[in-house]
Amino acid sequence: MRVAEGTLRGGGTGMSGKEGAGGFRKRKHDNFPHGQRREEKENVNPPSALMTSFKSFQLELDTRHDKYERLVKLSRDITIESKRTIFLLHRFTSAPNGEEILSESEVKLDAVRRKIKQVAQELIGEDMYQFHRAISPGLQEYVEAVSFQYFIKTRSLISVEEINKQLIFTAEDREETTNMTSSSHDKQPHTWSLKVTPVDYLLGVADLTGELMRLCISSVGNGDIDTPFELSQFLRQIYDGFTFIGNTGPYEVSKKLYTLKQSLAKVENACYTLKVRGSEIPKHMLADVFSTKTELIDQEEGLP
């Protein structure tokens, strides 16, 4: 009887803690009736200052994200058109009329600059470095195409100042602009410009060395014996310039220095073959010999 009374007395007062093996702890808001909690939710004022601030933050982030996506698409278009220009310029050594190739490449580069103009218009009033990762691949490919065309014309390297001079646009063809709102049209200045950063310029020049290596092999296949030696000296000067930067430059620059060294080694190997065995090998077989030696170098150095 005493045990039963103790049990009943314990059940009447309610267990503290976890209420035994199968009990649950009460939550704090369970002490309030459900109607009161519903009224508190309804009392939240949507147009309050806090909600208005977060709405403005959401609109700003969505606008910035949409602009970033548009810049990524423009950069992809710039990359594609620049690659097509480079492929066209490789036909310069084998084409019967090289001037037609150069004029056609200029037309393609003008189309690329129109894309870059759209990028410049998207960046009006914005910090370019906030969107630099979106446009950097396209700018690097454009620098590679422009410098390749400039080398074929002048046998020298174009400077970053000359590249930036070509990227100053006027408002004479404003109607070509797309993806711009009406409010931004009213705020547009009469000129737009987009500057290629020194890092993008260096990375584009580093990629140029690979195209010059291919130009060397194709020129030898066409019977041009002087171009490989000229390219060898030019690539050596570029490589010396990059070695002055060393590890003080950005990581991407030091990463492409290895590829630059491989391109220089392939061109120097071609010059060595021409100097030592040039008189023994017929001209129509020189390209096959160089391609074979290039594959052997890649295998020794573990390149794919």
Asked if 168 and 221 sit in the same domain, the reply is no
Asked if 116 and 216 sit in the same domain, the reply is no
Asked if 224 and 295 sit in the same domain, the reply is yes
- The average pLDDT across 164-191 equals 61
The reply to whether 144 sits in an annotated binding site is yes
**Does residue 33 form part of some domain?**
no
Asked if 291 and 226 sit in the same domain, the reply is yes
Asked if 64 and 154 sit in the same domain, the reply is yes
Asked if 64 and 125 sit in the same domain, the reply is yes
**Does residue 35 form part of some domain?**
no
Asked if 225 and 122 sit in the same domain, the reply is no
Asked if 69 and 165 sit in the same domain, the reply is yes
The secondary element (H helix, E strand) that includes residue 257 is: helix 251-277
The reply to whether 211 sits in an annotated binding site is yes
The DSSP output letter for 193 is E
CATH of the domain at 65: 1.20.58.190
What's the domain range around 213?
206-303
Asked if 142 and 217 sit in the same domain, the reply is no
- The average pLDDT across 222-248 equals 86
**Does residue 67 form part of some domain?**
yes
**Does residue 162 form part of some domain?**
yes
**Does residue 154 form part of some domain?**
yes
Nearest Cα residue to 113 out of 176, 184, 43: 176
Strands 191-193 and 168-170: antiparallel
Number of domains in the chain: 2
Q: Which residues contact 264 (CB under 8 A, 6 or more apart)?
A: 209, 213, 232, 235, 236, 239
**Does residue 99 form part of some domain?**
yes
CATH of the domain at 261: 1.20.58.200
Asked if 163 and 214 sit in the same domain, the reply is no
**Does residue 180 form part of some domain?**
no
**Does residue 212 form part of some domain?**
yes
C-alpha 188/C-alpha 206 separation (Å) is 35
Nearest Cα residue to 137 out of 239, 251, 252: 252
Each residue of 76-100: pLDDT tens digit?
Answer: 999 999 999 999 999 988 878 888 9
Each residue of 185-212: pLDDT tens digit?
Answer: 444 557 888 999 999 999 999 999 999 9
pTM: 0.72
* Comparison of pLDDT for 271 and 147, the residue scoring more: 147
Residues 267 and 216: beta-carbon distance below 8 Å: yes
